[in-house]
Structures are given as structure tokens and as C-alpha cells.
Amino acid sequence: MNHPPSRVLQEYLIEQAIFARPSAGGSWPLWDSQLPDGPDVPDNAAALYDEAPKIDGREMNTNVIVEHPGISFTLRSRLYATGWLKLYSVMMLLADLLDAEVVLEGSTYVIHSVTNRTGVVSQGQEIATRRCLFEMGLNVTMEML
């Protein structure tokens, strides 16, 4: 693969208009491997982080180890219900995903499926801003064509 799995999933979610590209300045920007903060960053935002894969054995004929990359989905929002519903809607969208093609900087990937390790989990509120934090754990089955 030429890109981290989180970057491929980020591109898919932006293509589906669920989130905005951070550089576009729209609502609900989705970052990869960071969730910045500051006066120019919206309260409602999200980030994807790569995590350890789920190892699923070996293919008998090729001896290739089957891995399902792990991704952590972090989301923050001004209001609890807004954030919970946003991440829940993402969970439902990804549950139905089947063989989605994503082109990213000249590389083509197929996301075969996304499996939830967790549902939407509240991480409480930030002390200073009172923004609500949520997290969801995923495993992805994807390949580069």
C-alpha cells in the first residue's frame, strides 16, 4: 500500500460528503493522525488514527498473513447529541460499505469492508471548552489494486 489505511478511509468519507477536507474550510473537517485545535478550527471535527491490525491467520496456498488494519475514529462536537448522532451515522454507513473503490494520489484501493470493534463511545468533555469527545474502533479489509 502507498498510503496508511486511515488516509484511505479519510478520502472515502470525504468523497461521500460525510466530512469535509480540512483544507476546504467546510463544516465537519476530517483529519488524519491529528485533531488540531485553535481559533481557525471548528468545534465539530474528527480525526482518524492508525492502530494495530487484527491478525486473521495465514492463507494456506500462499502463506500470506491476513491483516485487518485497525483505525481509531475520534470526534469532538459542541453538543453531545450532535456528536453522538454524527458518529453513529458514520458507523451505520461503514457497516453497509462493500467493495468501495477509492483513488488517492494516483493509487487505487478497494475497501472491501469495515468492522466495528466498538460502537460509539463517549470520552466525556474537554475541561476548558466543554466540547464532547467520542471514539469508535474499527478494523478495515482493504487492498491496493
Per-residue pLDDT at 93: 95
E-only strand ranges, 39-96: 45-58, 65-77
Whole-model pTM: value is 0.92
- CB proximity list for 65: less than 8 A, separation 6 or greater: 55, 57, 58
CA dist 75 and 136 (Å) reads: 9
DSSP SS3 for 68: strand
The confidence score (pLDDT) of residue 25 equals 81
Q: Spell out where the chain has E strands.
A: 30-32, 45-58, 65-77, 100-104, 107-116, 121-125, 132-144
Q: Which three cell numbers stand for residue 129?
A: 471548552
pLDDT the model gives residue 20: 95
pLDDT of the residue at 140: 96
Q: In the 8-state DSSP scheme, what is residue 64?
A: P
pLDDT number for residue 61: 87
Task: Give residue 51's pLDDT.
Answer: 95
pLDDT score for 70:
95
* Structure confidence at residue 26 (pLDDT): 81
Q: What is the mean pLDDT of each run of 10 residues along the chain (145 residues)?
A: 95 95 90 92 95 85 85 97 96 95 96 94 93 96 93
CATH topology assigned to domain 5-144: STM4215-like (3.30.2000)
Question: pLDDT at position 53, please?
Answer: 85
By C-alpha distance, which of 33, 125, 134, 47 is closest to 83? 134
